[in-house]
Each structure stands twice: as C-alpha cells, then as structure tokens.
C-alpha cells in the first residue's frame, strides 16, 4: 500500500497527542492513545504484525515488524526505527495547532516538525518496503522468502543483493517529559520468546528527530530537578514577623547564574556537542500579594555532555549552591525527575556511515553532527543498540508558535530511510 506522505502527516497532526509535561491536566487532547489507535489501523492496512505495549494509562508504545529474508534467530539483521508519538503543549501558538495547513511547500501544525514529520518519513519507507516484500512473494510474520533473482548481468563483477533485514517500527510515548516509552521498549527484546514482536536485540537503531537530513551521532543529556526554599508565612503588613522564601530563592538563583556564567565555561567541551549548560526554567511561590511566602520552588535543567556523569553533575551543582556566599539557610533539592543520558559517538560509527551513504545518495549531502538537545537515542544506546538520530526539519521550528515542516525534506527523509534499509541487503 503506497503511503501519501502529506496526507498521512496531516492525519497525524490532526490527532492531538499533547504531553501534559507533569502538569495535572486532563482532556481529550492529552496523551498519545488516539495516535496509537491510528497507527494500529495503519499497520493493519499494511498487513504487518504489531503489538501495543502499555507504559502508563492511555500511553502505549506500538511496535510493528516487517520480516526480512533471514529470520533474526538464524543471523538475519534487525533494524529499529523509533519515533515518539507525543508533542509539547500548544500554549501560545499563533496557528490552529491541530488543523494542518499546507502552504508554500510547508505543512503547519503542532508536531509537524517534532516529530510527526519524522515518524511519517519512517512510515513511508516502511510502506514502500512492505509493498516490495509482498510483490516478491514474502511470507507473513516469522516466515522467510527467497531473495529475488538478480537482474541480468549480475554476477559478472556487480554486487549481488543480500538478504533483506527485519525492520522494526516502534512509536513510543512520553519522550518530551521522561523518556518512559523508550525505557520500556528494551523489555520487549530482553524478554523475547517465540512470536515476540521484537525477536531479539536490534543490530542498530535510527531515532526520528529534526536534523535537517544530517546524521546526529552525539547529543547532550539532561538532568532536571526541583529545588525548594522554605520560610515562615505572615501578613505582609508585618514582614519582619515572617521569613520570605522568595528572598532566599533569589540568592539561590544568583548562585545558579554564577555557576552558568563562571563555572560552565571552565568545564571541558565536546567536539560535536559544544559546552555544557545550566538553566532555571520555572519558579513558583507565594499565595497572595499580602502574604509573606513560606515556600518557593524552581526547576533546574543541567545539560550533560558525553563523558560527564549526570549524578556527579547533579551533586556538583548542589555543592556549589551550598558553598555560595550568603546562603546560610537550608536549600532542599529533590532527586532528579529526569535523568536523560547523553548519546556518545564511540559506538555508532557503522550505522552512521550507512545512513550517511544513503543521505548522500538521495540528497547529495549529509554530515555527521552533534546537537545540544536530547532524544530517545541515548536510552536505546544504553540498552546496547548502536543508535543515531535522523529526520526532516530543523530543531529551530520545533515547539514554536507556528510549527512547520518543509515538505520536500519530508519526501527526501523518507527516500533516505528507504535506501538505508535497502542498502543493508
């Protein structure tokens, strides 16, 4: 079944799958379950075996398999494509988030760039490969077929096509706020048995994110946690009777700003990912303007480089704040609510070279790069699968008020992924 990329991406954008990002929000636009249902129907039309893996209520990973010529148990290669189903919230958007608009070679809507466009590119490649397998007489799940006869002239110095690999398409949940979908995914091959949707650990993985059709071989991780200062509430007409938690947090913020300005520049950098960083993203405190606040909370984001230990980084920031002049009160740091590891570039050279070759074949260009943002690739890599990141669009358009994707890049990305898998034969 040929897949119309623009129509498929329009369908995906039109189905809200907003990640509440830890906020106590409810409504039909939240969580991924409706996108999961759509993908299940699509895999049925493609006549592919698939399975849903429940991670949390209304949050299922969904995994499909296109069998290769040689079963994985007999040495056949296994390639994993992975894309997340969730999007960030739509607060502040200047366009209708779930009404896809195609204009001037672009498609607009929440998730167009991050990352339903990349998912759609993978689905398009999967559909093309499934069509070819059906045309060549491939069997169903768990079966095998003979490699098609080579074209005339093959065998006189020309490369004979090898066996087609098994392709796994995994669409995961909760990438934007915890990576729990990617963390659950390896359980499917770690506990594999006869008939498992992922028969064994994949040989390599490509994770969808906007990379401008370059191949990301390294990226930063992130450790995030909440920090609290506490005081004593009283009426604002008598502030001397209270203890203002906001004033205390102001000194903590000064310490963290000093850390970013003076400590981070002295830390080692990564040749592809650049320097580490620290940022404070939220602050909450106070009940009313006429009450001295007794508590204040911030959320800290420390980006972690390949080679850094996230727990050591976390403890280092805490120690720096505790020693900072003027902080003679208790500062409470919660354990991290996110510990996303960086992606190192020391185990993925082979898959990167294959994907770069496909990108250059299709587009005439392509570089191995590092990026500052995190992805599911680091989690999959930690499970022992060499992983890279690839997809259409730019991170500059992700999460924006008028998120969009270049449709030519969508088409090219799907072609690259198709050629990548074909090149493994």
Q: Give the per-residue pLDDT at 138.
A: 66
8 Å CB contact between 338 and 223: yes
Q: What distance in Å separates the CA atoms of residue 164 and residue 135, rounded to the nearest whole number?
A: 14
> ∠ CA 212-217-222 to the nearest 5 degrees?
95
* Total residues belonging to the chain: 425
Average pLDDT of the chain? 94
- Taking the C-alpha atoms of residue 42 and residue 21, their distance in angstroms, rounded to an integer, is 28
Identify the H or E element spanning 406: strand 404-406
Residue-range domains of the chain with CATH? 5-145+160-219+343-423 (3.40.630.10), 221-340 (3.30.70.360)
Q: What's the pLDDT score for residue 347?
A: 94
CB contact burial 239-262 (16+ within 10 A = b; e otherwise):
eeebbbbbebbebbbebbeebeee
Q: pTM of the predicted model, to two decimals?
A: 0.90
What pLDDT, in 10s, does the model give residues 110-130? Answer: 999 999 999 999 999 999 999
> Which segments in the chain show pLDDT lower than 50?
140-157
SS3 state at 42: helix
Q: What is the DSSP string of 120-159?
A: HHHHHHHHHHHHHHHHTT--STT---PPPPPPTTTTSSSP
Q: Annotate 54-84 with three-state secondary structure.
A: EEECCEEEEEEEECCCCCHHHCCCEEEEEEE
For the stretch 298-345, pLDDT in tens is: 999 999 999 999 999 999 999 999 999 999 999 999 999 999 999 999
Angle at 365 between CA 423 and CA 349, to 5 degrees: 55
Query: Looking at residue 254, what is its pLDDT?
Result: 98
Residues paired with residue 371 on neighbouring β-strands, in sequence order? 219
Nearest to 243 by CA among 284, 291, 283: 291
């Amino acid at each position: 079944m040929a897949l119309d990329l623009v129509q498929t991406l329009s369908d995906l954008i039109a189905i809200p799958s907003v990640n509440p990002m830890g906020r106590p929000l409810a409504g039909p636009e939240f969580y991924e379950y409706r996108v999961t249902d759509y993908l299940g129907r699509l895999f049925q039309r493609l006549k592919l075996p698939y399975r849903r893996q429940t991670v949390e209520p209304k949050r299922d990973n969904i995994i499909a398999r296109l069998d290769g010529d040689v079963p994985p148990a007999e040495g056949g290669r296994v390639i994993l494509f992975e894309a997340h189903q969730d999007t960030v919230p739509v607060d502040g958007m200047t366009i209708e988030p779930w009404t896809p608009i195609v204009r001037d070679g672009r498609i607009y809507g929440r998730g167009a760039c991050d990352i339903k466009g990349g998912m759609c590119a993978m689905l398009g490649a999967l559909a093309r490969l499934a069509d070819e397998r059906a045309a060549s007489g491939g069997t169903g799940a768990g079966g095998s077929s003979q490699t098609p006869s080579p074209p005339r002239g093959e065998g006189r110095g020309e490369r004979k096509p090898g066996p087609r690999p098994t392709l796994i398409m995994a669409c995961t949940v909760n990438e934007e706020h915890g990576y729990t979908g990617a963390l659950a995914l390896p359980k499917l091959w770690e506990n594999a048995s006869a008939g498992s949707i992922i028969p064994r650990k994949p040989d390599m993985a490509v994770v969808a994110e906007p990379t401008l059709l370059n191949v990301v071989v390294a990226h930063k991780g992130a450790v995030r946690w909440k920090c609290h200062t506490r005081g004593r509430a009283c009426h604002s007409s008598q502030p001397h009777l209270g203890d203002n938690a906001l004033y205390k947090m102001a000194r903590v913020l000064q310490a963290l700003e000093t850390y970013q300005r003076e400590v981070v520049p002295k830390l080692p950098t990564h040749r592809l990912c650049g320097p580490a960083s620290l940022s404070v993203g939220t602050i909450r405190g106070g009940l009313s303007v006429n009450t001295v606040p007794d508590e204040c909370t911030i959320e800290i984001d420390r980006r972690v480089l390949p080679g850094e230990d996230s727990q050591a980084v976390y403890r280092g920031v805490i120690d720096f704040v505790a020693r900072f002049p003027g902080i003679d009160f208790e500062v409470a740091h919660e354990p991290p609510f996110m510990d996303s590891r960086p992606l190192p570039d020391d185990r993925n050279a082979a898959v990167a070279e294959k994907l770069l070759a496909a990108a250059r074949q299709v587009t005439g260009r392509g570089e191995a790069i590092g990026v500052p943002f995190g992805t599911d690739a680091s989690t999959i890599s930690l499970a022992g699968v060499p992983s890279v990141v690839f997809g259409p669009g730019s991170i500059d358009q992700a999460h924006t008020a008028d998120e969009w994707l270049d449709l030519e890049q969508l088409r090219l990305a799907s072609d690259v992924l198709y050629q990548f898998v074909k090149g493994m034969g």
